[in-house]
């Protein structure tokens, strides 16, 4: 199901493995990438597709909370839902809808199943790209941990926007997820370059391979798809002076640096900044993040 904010979405269909049109060469610039992803198919986790079909068979007994529990575990399905709901708003209308469940309430259960047919799955989409599938799976696990960290920080700070902060961290790396789906060899090349030289800055490597920085693509697509204004704003790492933005960025960074364990040399700096955000000592901050780290 393509994300097309200006037109209704059509039900998705399983994508034949042999016909997935991967990009093997980079596009020219941000405008070209934006045009490409504006109407690109987005697959979801097979567990998401399977569970949605099970609920479809019992639609009369399904409510927004039941659907939300399925969608809220899958960042790409979450992205598709929120973009679709935004596409139905009149231009210029500001929304406070910043969660999966409230989006479903606004949309309605029957319209959801009408507009979202059988979802293409990542496992079939990337069936001939096992390294990309592993890379994407790792990134999705990282997104889940980032969401836990962001939620924990926000609760500790007494923030009133805990839900949207968690969502911003969960979706923060969706542009990289899309690259794993549509340009897996290019994304794998970035991984190999950074593995060969860990000192390379991610943004610089992205510019050399994609001709863009994925942070810019994320923000451009979020605005194009008219996602909630607060969600877009706190996902913009160019405004670290705002505590709510630091909450998201530090959660994402900690999840990335601890993806393979807690011995990454960058972690002490992360903990120092998290301590400042939480108004705590580094020792207390470290104990806190270890406590809220979800089990593997």
Domain ranges of the chain: 44-119, 129-292
Contact (Cβ atoms closer than 8 angstroms) between residue 214 and residue 206: yes
pLDDT value at residue 15:
40
DSSP character for 42?
A: -
pLDDT value at residue 96:
55
pLDDT value at residue 13:
39
pLDDT value at residue 246:
97
Low-confidence stretches of the chain (pLDDT beneath 50): 1-18
CB-based contacts of 84, cutoff 8 Å, min separation 6: 3, 9, 107, 115, 116
Contact (Cβ atoms closer than 8 angstroms) between residue 249 and residue 270: no
Q: How far apart are CA 49 and CA 71, in angstroms?
A: 9
Contact (Cβ atoms closer than 8 angstroms) between residue 167 and residue 99: yes
Strands (E) in 78-186, as ranges, are none
CB-based contacts of 108, cutoff 8 Å, min separation 6: none
Q: Counting Cβ atoms within 10 Å, is residue 81 exposed (0-12), middle (13-18) or buried (19+)?
A: buried
pLDDT value at residue 186:
97
Count of CB atoms within 10 A of residue 58's CB?
9
Tokens 């549509």 correspond to what residue? 182
DSSP character for 247?
A: H
CB-based contacts of 29, cutoff 8 Å, min separation 6: 211, 212
Tokens 């935004």 correspond to what residue? 86
Closest CA to 274 of 257, 250, 256: 250
Which fold does the domain 129-292 belong to in CATH? Hypothetical protein af1432 (1.10.3210)
Handedness of CA 218, 293, 77, 45 (dihedral sign): positive
Q: How far apart are CA 206 and CA 188, in angstroms?
A: 11
Per-residue CA distances from 207 to 118, 122, 210, 216 (Å): 35, 26, 5, 11
Contact (Cβ atoms closer than 8 angstroms) between residue 288 and residue 254: no
């Amino acid at each position: 199901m393509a994300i097309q904010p200006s037109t209704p979405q059509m039900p998705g269909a399983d994508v034949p493995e042999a016909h997935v049109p991967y990009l093997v060469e980079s596009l020219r610039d941000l405008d070209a990438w934006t045009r490409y992803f504006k109407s690109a198919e987005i697959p979801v986790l097979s567990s998401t597709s399977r569970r949605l079909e099970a609920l479809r068979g019992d639609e009369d007994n399904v409510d927004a909370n039941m659907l939300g529990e399925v969608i809220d575990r899958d960042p790409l399905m979450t992205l598709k839902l929120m973009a679709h709901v935004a596409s139905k708003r009149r231009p210029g209308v500001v929304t406070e809808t910043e969660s999966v469940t409230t989006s479903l309430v606004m949309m309605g259960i029957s319209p959801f199943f009408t507009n979202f047919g059988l979802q293409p799955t990542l496992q079939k989409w990337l069936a001939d790209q096992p390294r990309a599938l592993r890379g994407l799976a790792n990134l999705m696990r990282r997104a889940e941990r980032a969401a836990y960290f962001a939620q924990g920080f926000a609760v500790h700070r007494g923030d009133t926007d805990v839900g949207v902060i968690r969502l911003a961290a969960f979706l923060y790396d969706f542009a990289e997820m899309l690259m794993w789906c549509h340009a897996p060899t290019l994304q794998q090349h970035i991984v190999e370059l950074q593995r060969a030289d860990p000192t390379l800055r991610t943004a610089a490597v992205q510019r050399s391979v994609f001709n863009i920085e994925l942070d810019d693509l994320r923000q451009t697509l979020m605005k194009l798809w008219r996602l909630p204004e607060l969600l877009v704003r706190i996902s913009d790492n160019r405004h670290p002076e705002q505590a709510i933005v630091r909450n998201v960025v530090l959660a994402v960074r900690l999840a990335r640096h601890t993806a393979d364990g807690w011995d990454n040399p960058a972690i002490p700096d992360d903990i120092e900044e998290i301590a400042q955000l939480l108004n705590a000592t580094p020792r207390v901050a470290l104990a806190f993040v270890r406590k809220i780290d979800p089990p593997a």
